[in-house]
């Protein structure tokens, strides 16, 4: 007798359940998707003990006919697709016909349904995937699925489940994610006898507020873009409003919640200078494109998809976010009450520094500067070979107009903060972050333009390397020359560095050059990212520090150069450079104004 044999159907279903059904929250995900595909306008969920003891999902959707009900519990039985062409143009949430069979194989399941066209409904009871009974029930249109004792017949699986608290949170998160996408549907969730979610149909922004609160709603920027067959509408957060993790990021493709790791990276990069270290923006982005442009059948739980044009989607994503965030935004001290309704208003409302009060009083600054300003430093992502000529021309324009208009300074307090009077108010400037911003824009310009002045080192830097390391470094010689680092090979593994860029401060040449060489290997083929990283590093190393004693001419020079910066409000790492106080602010502080 041979060693290979066919598996029993119940065993096949249990194996499938291991791929599709991770825990109670994944059961609820599958059942919610079934309700959505049934055109439900109201969905109710109930759980006990984190969904292990009981899960009930009921809807008022189209229902399932008596003839189809038993078939719905069989593996690979589905109403969604019939052929390969259907699979390539799928718009429904479910399509494999695996979920109900998989759930039934690891639980005690009941399903009641009626199409509303019959005098009665039907209820099926199963255990371990086997049909136990069939009963006639009420004719109310819709479907109710009840699941008891999840994983009762796979005790090993039960041992690996998270705590009840953890599972309850995942269930809520799953319902919320679905509710954000399907804001025209009512969602209700009863947890251990207590109603914890009650969402009635509402518009998209109000649904976000219902889930996360009005404060978030008031700190969202509307984004919208349509290009090359991709349409996106949604919201991203004001850079002053962020989280310490990525849990506030929701991306939907054709209404399906999706995890796109590279998009999260691009989102973080777009906010790079606008957030402090460890800060993560909120986003609610709803992408729509032709179903034949994506493959949703690449993951058992359908949480990941593949784009036919991955590069095109990433470019679209980057353009979408950058359009809303430019010009870059200033620091905020307190959360603002005003709502930014779209990214055009965002330009006006956020391009100048916020005041110390919740009511933002800077509306007169930016429109004045924006009308005059033509100069803009591009982001590294803009600097492609195709666009390099135009970008260089843009960079070469001398900045003609200020972002704020300083009159005089009053010196430095606490060896750190420069006090400035301007035409529109009073500024407190951090001398380190301000100088870091200035240096960053200067150095990045030089890198992008490849117009780097060099200086000969009085004492060349000697590097004693292995033969392999020296050969590897010599291969980078031309690339190093382009950024102002000139090396010579003395043989035997010895390399000397003869010239370095003039913007590298004396005494830090070795450290900066070594870092550049390491980054050059890391960012091979990605010059914009390399230049951005090195400009930040160089600026950080060379900027004036807290406690440095500055003469009046140097203070004046810092203030003057900062006012011309493309983004004078934050250092390249996202920390604030200045804070503004108006006369009205001061009068409020002293109760001279209500």
pLDDT higher than 80, residue 495: yes
Would you say the C-alpha torsion 421, 424, 429, 431 has a positive or negative sign?
negative
Q: Tell whether 254 is covered by a domain.
A: yes
pLDDT higher than 50, residue 391: no
Q: Which of 201, 223, 249 is the last residue of a domain?
A: 201
**In a shared domain, residues 102 and 134:** yes
**In a shared domain, residues 180 and 293:** no
Task: Convert the pLDDT of each residue in 422-448 to its tens digit.
Answer: 887 888 999 999 999 999 998 888 888
Q: Which of 325, 352, 387 is the last residue of a domain?
A: 325
Q: Which two tokens stand for residue 179?
A: 């509710």
Asked if residues 111 and 73 have their Cβ atoms less than 8 Å apart, the reply is yes
Task: Convert the pLDDT of each residue in 289-303 to its tens digit.
Answer: 988 888 765 555 556
Give the CATH number of the domain where residue 259 resides.
Answer: 3.30.230.10
Res 189: pLDDT: 97
pLDDT higher than 70, residue 401: no
**pLDDT top residue among 310 and 18:** 310
Q: How far apart are the first and last CA of the chain?
A: 93
What value does the mean pLDDT take over residues 131-138? 89
Q: How confident is the model at residue 3 (pLDDT cuts 50, 70, 90)?
A: low
**In a shared domain, residues 155 and 21:** yes
Res 145: pLDDT: 95
**In a shared domain, residues 134 and 279:** no
Q: How far apart are CA 372 and CA 403, in angstroms?
A: 10
**pLDDT-wise least confident of 13-27, 83-97, 471-485:** 83-97
pLDDT higher than 50, residue 558: yes
Q: How confident is the model at residue 569 (pLDDT cuts 50, 70, 90)?
A: confident
**In a shared domain, residues 217 and 185:** no
Closest CA to 198 of 45, 35, 62, 31: 45
Q: Which two tokens stand for residue 464?
A: 């004693």
Closest CA to 238 of 213, 217, 207, 256: 217
Res 42: pLDDT: 97
**In a shared domain, residues 49 and 129:** yes
What value does the mean pLDDT take over residues 121-125? 93
3-state SS record for 254-293: CCEEECCHHHHHHHHHHCCCCCCCCCEECEEEEEEECHHH
Res 392: pLDDT: 40
Q: Tell whether 108 is covered by a domain.
A: yes
Res 297: pLDDT: 57
Q: Tell whether 361 is covered by a domain.
A: no
Q: How far apart are CA 171 and CA 454, in angstroms?
A: 60
**In a shared domain, residues 185 and 49:** yes
**In a shared domain, residues 54 and 189:** yes
pLDDT higher than 90, residue 397: no
Task: Convert the pLDDT of each residue in 263-283 to its tens digit.
Answer: 888 888 888 777 777 788 999
What value does the mean pLDDT take over residues 130-152? 90
Q: Tell whether 371 is covered by a domain.
A: no
**In a shared domain, residues 119 and 58:** yes
**In a shared domain, residues 255 and 107:** no
Q: How far apart are CA 504 and CA 295, in angstroms?
A: 49
What value does the mean pLDDT take over residues 111-121? 88
SS3 456: strand
What value does the mean pLDDT take over residues 151-167? 84
Task: Convert the pLDDT of each residue in 171-208 to its tens digit.
Answer: 999 999 999 999 999 999 999 999 999 999 999 999 99
Q: Tell whether 101 is covered by a domain.
A: yes
Triad 409, 410, 411: Cα angle to 5°: 100
pLDDT higher than 70, residue 412: yes
Q: Tell whether 37 is covered by a domain.
A: yes
Q: How far apart are CA 136 and CA 124, in angstroms?
A: 9
Number of structural domains (the chain) is: 2
DSSP, res 403: S
**pLDDT-wise least confident of 77-81, 382-386, 539-543, 548-552:** 382-386
Task: Convert the pLDDT of each residue in 237-254 to its tens digit.
Answer: 988 788 878 889 999 999
pLDDT higher than 70, residue 335: no
pLDDT higher than 90, residue 581: no
pTM score above 0.75? no
Asked if residues 149 and 108 have their Cβ atoms less than 8 Å apart, the reply is yes
Q: How confident is the model at residue 345 (pLDDT cuts 50, 70, 90)?
A: very low
- Percentage of the chain lying above the pLDDT 90 cut: 26
Res 327: pLDDT: 46
pLDDT higher than 80, residue 143: yes
Task: Convert the pLDDT of each residue in 500-540 to its tens digit.
Answer: 888 887 777 777 777 877 777 777 777 777 888 888 888 88
SS3 236: strand
Contacts of 156 (CB under 8 A, 6+ apart): none
Q: Tell whether 540 is covered by a domain.
A: no
Closest CA to 159 of 47, 56, 52: 52
**pLDDT-wise least confident of 63-77, 110-124, 210-224:** 63-77
Q: Tell whether 84 is covered by a domain.
A: yes
Res 1: pLDDT: 53
Res 246: pLDDT: 86
pLDDT higher than 50, residue 83: no
Res 10: pLDDT: 57
Neighbours of 385 (CB within 10 A): 7
pLDDT higher than 50, residue 344: no
Contacts of 544 (CB under 8 A, 6+ apart): 431, 432, 435, 550, 558
Q: Which of 182, 201, 220 is the last residue of a domain?
A: 201
**In a shared domain, residues 238 and 284:** yes
**pLDDT top residue among 79 and 589:** 589
Average pLDDT, the chain: 78
Q: How confident is the model at residue 377 (pLDDT cuts 50, 70, 90)?
A: very low
Q: How confident is the model at residue 382 (pLDDT cuts 50, 70, 90)?
A: very low
Q: How confident is the model at residue 389 (pLDDT cuts 50, 70, 90)?
A: very low
Give the CATH number of the domain where residue 119 resides.
Answer: 3.30.565.10
Q: Which domain holds residue 266?
A: 212-325
**In a shared domain, residues 63 and 112:** yes
What value does the mean pLDDT take over residues 360-387? 35
Using the structure block, give the residue that is written with the tokens 């090993």.
156
């Amino acid at each position: 007798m041979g060693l290979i044999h066919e598996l029993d159907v119940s065993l096949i279903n249990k194996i499938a359940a291991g791929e599709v059904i991770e825990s109670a929250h994944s059961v609820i995900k599958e059942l919610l998707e079934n309700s959505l595909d049934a055109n439900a306008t109201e969905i109710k969920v109930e759980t006990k003990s984190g969904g292990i003891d009981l899960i009930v999902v009921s809807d008022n959707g189209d229902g399932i006919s008596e003839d189809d009900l038993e078939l719905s519990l069989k593996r690979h039985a589905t109403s969604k697709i019939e052929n390969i062409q259907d699979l390539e143009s799928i718009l429904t949430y479910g399509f494999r016909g695996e979920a109900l069979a998989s759930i039934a194989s690891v639980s005690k399941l009941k399903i009641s349904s009626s199409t509303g066209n019959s005098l009665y409904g039907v209820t099926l009871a199963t255990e371990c995937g086997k049909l136990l009974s069939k009963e006639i029930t009420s004719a109310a249109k819709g479907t109710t699925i009840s699941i008891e004792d999840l994983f009762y017949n796979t005790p090993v699986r039960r041992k690996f489940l998270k705590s009840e608290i953890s599972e309850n949170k995942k269930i809520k998160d799953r319902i919320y994610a679905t509710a954000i996408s399907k804001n025209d549907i009512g969602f209700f969730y009863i947890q251990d006898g207590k109603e914890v979610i009650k969402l009635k149909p509402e518009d998209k922004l109000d649904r976000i507020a219902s889930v996360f609160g009005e404060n978030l709603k008031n700190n969202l920027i509307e984004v919208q873009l349509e290009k090359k067959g991709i349409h996106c509408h949604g919201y991203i957060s004001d850079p002053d409003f962020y989280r310490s993790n990525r849990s506030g990021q929701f991306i939907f493709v054709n209404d399906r919640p999706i995890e796109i790791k590279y998009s999260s990276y691009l989102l973080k990069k777009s906010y790079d200078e606008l957030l402090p270290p460890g800060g993560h923006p909120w986003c609610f982005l709803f992408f729509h494109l032709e179903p034949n442009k994506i493959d949703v059948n690449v993951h058992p739980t359908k949480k990941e998809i593949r784009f036919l044009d991955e590069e095109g989607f990433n470019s679209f994503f980057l353009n979408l976010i950058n359009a809303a965030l430019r010009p870059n935004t200033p620091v905020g001290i307190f959360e603002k009450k005003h709502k930014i309704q779209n990214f055009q208003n965002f330009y006006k409302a956020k391009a100048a520094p916020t005041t110390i009060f919740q009511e933002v009083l800077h509306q007169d600054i930016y429109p004045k500067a924006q009308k005059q300003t033509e100069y803009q430093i591009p982001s590294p992502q803009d600097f492609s070979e195709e666009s390099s000529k135009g970008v260089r021309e843009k960079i070469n324009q001398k900045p003609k107009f200020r972002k704020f208009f300083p009159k005089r300074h009053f010196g430095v307090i606490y060896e750190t903060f420069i006090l400035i009077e301007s035409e529109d108010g009073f500024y407190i400037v951090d001398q380190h972050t301000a100088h870091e911003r200035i240096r960053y824009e200067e150095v990045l310009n030089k890198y992008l333009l490849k117009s780097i002045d060099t200086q000969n080192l009085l004492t060349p830097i000697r590097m004693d390397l292995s033969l392999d390391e020296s050969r590897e470094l010599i291969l980078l010689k031309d690339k190093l020359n382009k950024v102002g680092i000139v090396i010579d090979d003395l043989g035997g593994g010895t390399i000397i560095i003869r010239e370095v860029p003039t913007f590298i401060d004396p005494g830090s040449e070795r450290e900066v050059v070594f870092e550049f060489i390491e980054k050059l290997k890391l960012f091979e083929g990605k010059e914009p990212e390399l230049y951005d990283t090195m400009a930040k590093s160089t600026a950080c190393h060379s900027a004036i520090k807290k406690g440095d004693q500055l003469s009046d001419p140097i203070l004046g020079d810092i203030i003057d150069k900062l006012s011309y910066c493309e983004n004078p409000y934050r250092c390249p790492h996202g920390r604030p450079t200045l804070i503004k106080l108006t006369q009205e602010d001061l009068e409020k502080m002293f109760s001279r104004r209500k």
